[in-house]
Amino acid sequence: MSHALRVVAAEALKQHRRLFGQPLVLFSMLLWPLLTLAATYYTVLPVMESAAAPQRWPVAADPRRLLAFLAAGALAYTFFFSLVQSAWHFSFERVSGTLEALFLSPASRMALVIGNGAAALTQNAWLFGCFAVAAATAADVLDVAHPGMYAVAAVALLVPAVAWGAFLNSLLIFSRDSAFLYTLLDDPLWFVAGVRLPLFALPVWIKAVGLAFPLTSSLVVLRGALLDRADLGDLAAPLGWLALLTVGLFAGASALLRLGEARVQRTGGLQVF
């Protein structure tokens, strides 16, 4: 176990050093989500100002609550999409030849993909996370049933995100078509998970697709716990579903790593790029 922890820490530090040059780059991690949030807010604002909107969705009547709703969406999306990016970057190790060096070592493959995802979360999401929490507190839009719900929201965001990252990393390190999946998981993920719109506004089939992504349920818990005064009882269903998805993603990651490594050992595919 201690070896696995060493691998997670080493992998996280390595990815940080590989991907970040100047410290100034860190601030783009705040700027980019903020720009996206502003673009989204001013896109939906004219629609929300129509008379019919607040009747169907009360949040639309209050610009501060609308902004908080969208900010929660942007925050959660930043967490999950940073892991898509990290998996994409990991796939480049195949080209540079370092992936072979990883597979030569006795390190746990699961520890490697978790470490890689953890690095992405830490470096891509913390700044915007801190900003979002500070802004929501200052704007007095938080409505929490119990202080413990902060922890529930954090866990509901972090743990499924790590599982999502492990799953994607396991998928992409053996794939030569990672750019395709990267594109597939950008705008569609934003759309089907209800990042910009409340889930009830989406067609049933899109809601069904969205349920397959942990981001959807993480967002339901995050918004419910921090903005809508929901308690554990109110959030039992999405939390249960999230737990199932998380277990499924870790199990899927483990299977993918095992099958993927067996396949490249059979075909010699690790040296092809």
Partner 1 sequence: MSTGIVTTDLRKTFPVRRWQGWRRRPVAAPVAAVDGLSLRIPPGQVTGLLGLNGAGKTTTIRILSTLLRPTGGTVRVDGLDVVEHAREVRRRINVISGGERMVYDRLTARENLWYFGQLYDVPRARLRVRIGELLDLVGLTDAAQVPVERYSRGMRQRLVIARGLINDPAYLLLDEPTLGLDAPIAHQLRALIAQLAADGVGVLLTSHYLAEVEQLCRHVYLIARGSLVAQGSPAQLAGQTVRRHTVRLVLTVADPAVTVALRTLAARHDAELTVDVDDEGRPRFALRHPEDLVGAVVTAVVQQGGTIAGLTVTPPTLEDAILTLADPAVVAR
Residues that bind partner 1 (CB under 8 A): 3, 6-7, 9-10, 13-14, 17-18, 21, 96-98, 100-107, 262, 265-268, 270-271
Closest CB 111 distance from partner 1, rounded Å: 9
Cβ–Cβ under 8 Å, residues 224 and 230: yes
Q: Taking the CB of residue 149, how many other CB atoms lie within 10 A of it?
A: 21
- Is the Cβ of residue 35 or residue 273 nearer to partner 1 in the bound state? 273
Q: Which long-range contacts (CB under 8 A, 24 or more apart) does 174-177 make?
A: 174/256, 174/260, 174/261, 174/263, 174/264, 174/269, 175/91, 176/94, 176/272, 176/273
CB of residue 2 to partner 1, shortest distance in Å: 8
Nearer to partner 1, 52 or 266 (CB): 266
Instruction: Give the span between the Cα atoms of 87 and 11, in whole angstroms.
Output: 13
Name the residue nearer to partner 1 (CB basis): 106 or 233: 106
Query: Which residue's structure tokens are 């949030």?
Result: 37
CB of 263 to partner 1, least distance (A): 10
CB 3 within 8 A of CB 108: yes
Yes or no: say if 149 and 231 are a contact pair by the CB < 8 Å rule: yes
Minimal distance, residue 17 CB to partner 1, in Å? 5
Cα-only R_g, the chain: 20
Sorted by sequence, the CB contacts under 8 Å of residue 53 that are 6+ apart come out as: 47, 60, 61
Nearer residue to partner 1 within complex by CB, 24 or 104 = 104
Shortest CB 161 distance to partner 1, Å: 24
* Closest approach of partner 1 to the CB of residue 85, in Å: 17
Question: Which residue lies nearer to partner 1 by CB, 10 or 158?
Answer: 10
Which CB atom, from 183 or from 265, has the smaller least distance to partner 1?
265
End-to-end CA distance of the chain: 33
